[in-house]
Amino acid sequence: MYTKFYQLREEPFRLTPDPKFLHLAEPHRAALAMLLDGIMSRKGFLVLYGPIGTGKTTLMHAALHLLEDNLALKDKLSTAFVVNPTLSPSEFLEAVLDEFEVHCPSSSKPRRLAAFHEMLLATQRKGGTTVLIVDEAHLLTPELLEEIRLLSNTDTYQEKPLQVVLSGQPELQAHLHHPRMKALQQRVAANCHLRPLSLPETRVYVSERLHAAGLRGESPFGVTALEKLFEFTSGVPRLINLLCDNALSLGAAQLKQVIDAAIIEEAAAKLQLLPEQVEAAKSLSVASRTSSGAANVASLRSMNGRVSTGQDTQADEHVPALPEEEILTAVDMLINAMKQRRGTARE
């Protein structure tokens, strides 16, 4: 354990999606704003996509924490988080009912759907909202995607009782743009693309996680170490976590207060981060940054009541549009409040 050696309260680079370690680089900030605004405004379908390891699951957990902390939704939020979508349609419906704690003794699909729809309307009547999050959504079959669309067919004249968040790798976008998915595609109110971090963002990411874990002094990672870290990870948060954790373990074992480039290289070799993997990560990073700018601008525009697909806007006309700056400022305030509350609780 290196925590005592580096005077940390806990391990800063765990792979678990802990919202207190949430880092809001530009794409993550825009994505979280999209999730919160889309759910609070009851816009229906939201799509979050990005390469492996860019922090999609952490963002969704953070969004749920923020919604649960919202006084307006206190005891009115009903959520389901499906992490394994490789199911048959009947198994998926059963998993959704279990997650929402909807008890239906019948095995009849019409009765199960009736029980589900009654739960949606009951939650809506008490001023709440129902959120279904499907992780690894790129693994969904066309049949399951259509099943999810049909689950949302209880729209009222005012709003959409069921909020659906589909999160997955970039292939998810290709699935949704298949001609067969036209009906579902037209229901997507907003989508956002996560990308790997830039070098400056990587420096801030490492620093923020260290301080969230209790660091009070200088970072143990030197300038050259951070540059080498970015070289081996190309800014993919999951790889950053793996490499930083191993580097700190090696540094503590060698009694080195400062992590240098040599330790990063040793940790990368231990993790078998091979040169060809690094080159592949670099290509992914460049491609992601090229496409993410337009995608995130589209997602911010969609939060102002415009659907990124250019269709199905009439259902949200009752929701007042907010300036993009106000939405993002509100997200920053919510995140800071959440971190302060959790920090006080730990102390």
**What region, left, alpha or beta, does residue 222 occupy, with left being phi > 0 and alpha being psi -120 to 50 degrees?**
beta
* DSSP letter assigned to residue 58: H
Instruction: Find residue 198's DSSP bridge partners.
Output: none
Pick from 189, 226, 191: nearest CA to 206: 226
pLDDT on residue 158: 66
The tens digit of pLDDT for each residue in 303-313 reads: 343 333 333 33
The CATH class of the 26-196+298-305 domain is: alpha beta
Give dist(CA 347, CA 345) in Å, integer: 5
1-20+197-273 is classed in which CATH architecture? Orthogonal Bundle (1.10)
Instruction: Find residue 165's DSSP bridge partners.
Output: 46, 133
Q: Which residues of the chain have pLDDT under 50?
A: 276-277, 282, 284-323, 342-347
Pick from 210, 214, 275: nearest CA to 244: 210
pLDDT on residue 346: 46
99 is written with which tokens? 């997650």
Tell me the domain boundaries of the chain.
1-20+197-273, 26-196+298-305
* DSSP letter assigned to residue 81: E
pLDDT on residue 330: 55
Give dist(CA 285, CA 304) in Å, integer: 29
Pick from 308, 235, 331, 242: nearest CA to 48: 308
pLDDT on residue 27: 84
pLDDT on residue 246: 96
298 is written with which tokens? 């589209």
Task: Say whether 124 sits in a helix, a strand or coil.
Answer: helix
Give dist(CA 167, CA 144) in Å, integer: 14
Give the Cβ contact number of residue 279 at 10 Å.
11
The tens digit of pLDDT for each residue in 109-129 reads: 999 999 999 999 899 888 888
Pick from 166, 226, 177: nearest CA to 202: 226
Q: What is the pTM of this model?
A: 0.77
Residues 6 or more apart whose CB falls under 8 angstroms from that of 49 comprise 56, 138, 167, 168, 169, 170, 172, 173, 191, 192, 193, 194
